[in-house]
Amino acid sequence: MRVVSGRRTNEGAGARLLLEARIMGLFSKSGSKKGDAPARFLTAGNEVSCPQCHGNLFLEGKAQLNTAAMSLANLDWANKSATTLICAQCSFISWYFEAPSRFDG
């Protein structure tokens, strides 16, 4: 944490939380891979920005959308999955049913 113009910031906290999330296995094997760099993304023709800090660099991951019935039948593998974008600045997680596309802007 550092002080900028009289206020504290958590710069660097997002990167630390992203590392902790990877270590804890919050991403499936098809999700964010070790060594992936944060990137910019588009969805519905608009650049994705973080609703919390307005950052525009994200790590992409995958998460399963579990349902009670499928879990009860031990068929979690058959559930659909969503794309997650984790803000590289503040670690806010955004979920997308249809995967956003990467772009170089």
Instruction: Give residue-wise pLDDT tens across range 62-99.
Output: 887 766 665 666 666 656 788 999 999 999 999 998 99
In contact, 45 and 75? CB cutoff 8 Å: no
User: Is pLDDT at 9 greater than 80 in this prediction?
Assistant: no
pTM of the model: 0.60
CA 78 to chain centre: 22
pLDDT at 36: 78
The answer, yes or no, to whether residue 13 has pLDDT greater than 80, is: no
Residue 62, pLDDT score: 86
Q: What is the pLDDT of residue 14?
A: 55
* pLDDT tens for each residue of 45-62: 999 999 999 999 999 998
| Domain residue ranges of the chain, discontinuous segments joined by + | 2-103
**Distance between CA atoms of 57 and 55, rounded to whole angstroms?**
6
Q: Give 9's contacts (C-beta < 8 A, 6+ positions apart).
A: 1, 2, 3
Length of the chain: 105
